[in-house]
Structure 1
Amino acid sequence: MGDSIFNCCYVPPHPPGEGEPTGSRRAKIMASNAASISSDKRFLIFFDFDETIVDESSDDVVVQTAPGQHLPAWLKDTYQPGRYNEYMQRVLAYLSEQGVTESDIRGSMEKIPATPGMLTLFQFLRTRPPQDFEVVLLSDSNAFFIESWLRRAGARQLFHRIFTNPATFNRDGRLVMRPFHSHDCVRCPNNLCKQVVVREYVARRMQERGRPYQRVFYVGDGANDFCPVLSLGPRDVAFPRRDFPMHRLITEIHEAMPGEFKAVTVPWSSGEDVVQRLRKLVAE
Structure 2
Amino acid sequence: MASMKLGTHLNADVLVLFAFNHTLVDVDSNVHIARALDADLANTIWSKNAADKKIDRAKTMDEFFVELAKHHPEVTHEDIRNAAQRLPFNQSILDAVRLVVDDFGATCKIVSDSTVFGVRSFLEHHGLADQVSEVVANSTHFEDGGKVLRVRPYHGNHLAPHGCRNCPNNLCKGVVLERILQQHRYAKVLYVGGGIEDFCPSTKLPNDITVIARNEVLSLPNTFPDTVQVQQWKAGDDVLSLLRNFFHQYPSKQVAKASVKTFSPISQVFSGSGQVLVVFDFDESLVNKDSDRFAFQCFHPELIKTLEERHALNPVWPSVFDELHQILANEKPELTPELICARVAQIPIQNRMVDAVRMAVEQFGAEVKIISDGNSLFIEKALKFHGLAPYINEVLTNQADLETMDNGRTRIRLRPHHDQPMNCSWCPSNLCKGSILDSIRNKKQYSHVLYVGDGIGDFCPASRLTKNDVVFARADEADGRSYGLQKRIDSNPTLIKASVVPWNTGDDIYRHFAQVLHAQT
TM-score higher than 0.5: yes
Offset at residue 122 of structure 1 (A): 2.2
- The residue that corresponds to 1:191 in the other structure is 430
Q: Deviations over 1:73-93 (max 9, x none)?
A: 666533325222211110111
- The residue that corresponds to 2:310 in the other structure is 78
Out of 254, 267, 274, which is 2:509 matched to? 274
What CA distance in whole angstroms lies between the structure 2 residues aligned with 1:283 and 1:171?
Answer: 50
Asked whether the equivalents of residues 143 and 164 of structure 1 are also in contact (C-alpha less than 8 Å), the reply is yes
Asked whether the equivalents of residues 82 and 188 of structure 1 are also in contact (C-alpha less than 8 Å), the reply is no
Offset at residue 170 of structure 1 (A): 1.2
What CA distance in whole angstroms lies between the structure 1 residues aligned with 2:344 and 2:299?
Answer: 14
What CA distance in whole angstroms lies between the structure 2 residues aligned with 1:66 and 1:155?
Answer: 25
Find out whether 1:228 has 2:461 as its counterpart.
Answer: yes
Offset at residue 193 of structure 1 (A): 0.8
- The residue that corresponds to 2:490 in the other structure is 251
Asked whether the equivalents of residues 41 and 133 of structure 1 are also in contact (C-alpha less than 8 Å), the reply is no
Offset at residue 187 of structure 1 (A): 3.0
Out of 371, 384, 387, which is 1:138 matched to? 371
What CA distance in whole angstroms lies between the structure 1 residues aligned with 2:306 and 2:289?
Answer: 24
Asked whether the equivalents of residues 360 and 513 of structure 2 are also in contact (C-alpha less than 8 Å), the reply is no
Out of 326, 342, 352, which is 1:107 matched to? 342
What secondary structure does 1:272 align onto?
helix
Offset at residue 61 of structure 1 (A): 1.1
What secondary structure does 1:240 align onto?
strand
Gaps of 5+ in 2: 1-272, 477-482
- The residue that corresponds to 2:352 in the other structure is 117
Q: 1:186 to 1:250 in 2, by over 3 A?
A: closer
What secondary structure does 1:164 align onto?
strand
What CA distance in whole angstroms lies between the structure 2 residues aligned with 1:74 and 1:109?
Answer: 20
Asked whether the equivalents of residues 83 and 189 of structure 1 are also in contact (C-alpha less than 8 Å), the reply is yes
Offset at residue 280 of structure 1 (A): 2.7
- The residue that corresponds to 1:200 in the other structure is 439
Q: Deviations over 1:3-59 (max 9, x none)?
A: xxxxxxxxxxxxxxxxxxxxxxxxxxxxxxxxxxxxx96100100110001111112
Offset at residue 125 of structure 1 (A): 2.2
Offset at residue 279 of structure 1 (A): 2.5
Offset at residue 124 of structure 1 (A): 1.6
Structure 2 length normalisation: TM-score?
0.42
What secondary structure does 1:166 align onto?
strand
What CA distance in whole angstroms lies between the structure 2 residues aligned with 1:266 and 1:183?
Answer: 29
Offset at residue 273 of structure 1 (A): 1.9
Superposition pairs for residues 152-163 of structure 1, below 5 Å?
A: 152-163=385-396
Give the letter aligned to residue 113 of structure 1: P
Q: 1:75 to 1:239 in 2, by over 3 A?
A: closer
Flag the structure with more relative contact order, 1 or 2, with Cα contacts below 8 A and sequence separation at least 6.
1
What secondary structure does 1:91 align onto?
helix
User: What RMSD in Å do the two structures reach over aligned CA positions?
Assistant: 2.0
Structure 1 length normalisation: TM-score?
0.76
What CA distance in whole angstroms lies between the structure 1 residues aligned with 2:398 and 2:386?
Answer: 21
Give the letter aligned to residue 514 of structure 2: R
Superposition pairs for residues 32-111 of structure 1, below 5 Å?
A: 42-67=275-300, 69-71=301-303, 77-79=309-311, 80-98=313-331, 99=333, 100-111=335-346
What CA distance in whole angstroms lies between the structure 2 residues aligned with 1:146 and 1:72?
Answer: 20
Give the letter aligned to residue 438 of structure 2: R
Q: 1:72 to 1:55 in 2, by over 3 A?
A: closer
Give the letter aligned to residue 397 of structure 2: T
What CA distance in whole angstroms lies between the structure 2 residues aligned with 1:188 and 1:149?
Answer: 25
Computing the radius of gyration over CA atoms, which structure comes out larger, 1 or 2? 2
- The residue that corresponds to 2:399 in the other structure is 166
What secondary structure does 2:468 align onto?
coil
Q: 1:276 to 1:190 in 2, by over 3 A?
A: same
Q: 1:276 to 1:167 in 2, by over 3 A?
A: same
Asked whether the equivalents of residues 276 and 447 of structure 2 are also in contact (C-alpha less than 8 Å), the reply is yes
Offset at residue 72 of structure 1 (A): 8.0
What CA distance in whole angstroms lies between the structure 1 residues aligned with 2:518 and 2:305?
Answer: 54
Give the letter aligned to residue 275 of structure 1: Y
Q: 1:94 to 1:263 in 2, by over 3 A?
A: same
Asked whether the equivalents of residues 41 and 134 of structure 1 are also in contact (C-alpha less than 8 Å), the reply is no
What secondary structure does 1:170 align onto?
strand
Find out whether 1:180 has 2:413 as its counterpart.
Answer: no
- The residue that corresponds to 2:114 in the other structure is none
What CA distance in whole angstroms lies between the structure 2 residues aligned with 1:75 and 1:147?
Answer: 23
* Greater strand content: 2
Asked whether the equivalents of residues 317 and 373 of structure 2 are also in contact (C-alpha less than 8 Å), the reply is no
Offset at residue 117 of structure 1 (A): 2.9
- The residue that corresponds to 1:9 in the other structure is none
Identical-pair percentage: 29
What CA distance in whole angstroms lies between the structure 2 residues aligned with 1:72 and 1:273?
Answer: 31
- The residue that corresponds to 1:14 in the other structure is none
What secondary structure does 1:233 align onto?
coil
What secondary structure does 1:275 align onto?
helix
What CA distance in whole angstroms lies between the structure 2 residues aligned with 1:72 and 1:196?
Answer: 30
Q: 1:66 to 1:279 in 2, by over 3 A?
A: closer
Q: 1:76 to 1:272 in 2, by over 3 A?
A: closer
Offset at residue 281 of structure 1 (A): 2.6
Q: Deviations over 1:183-233 (max 9, x none)?
A: 11133111001001001111112xxxxxx3111110011100111110000
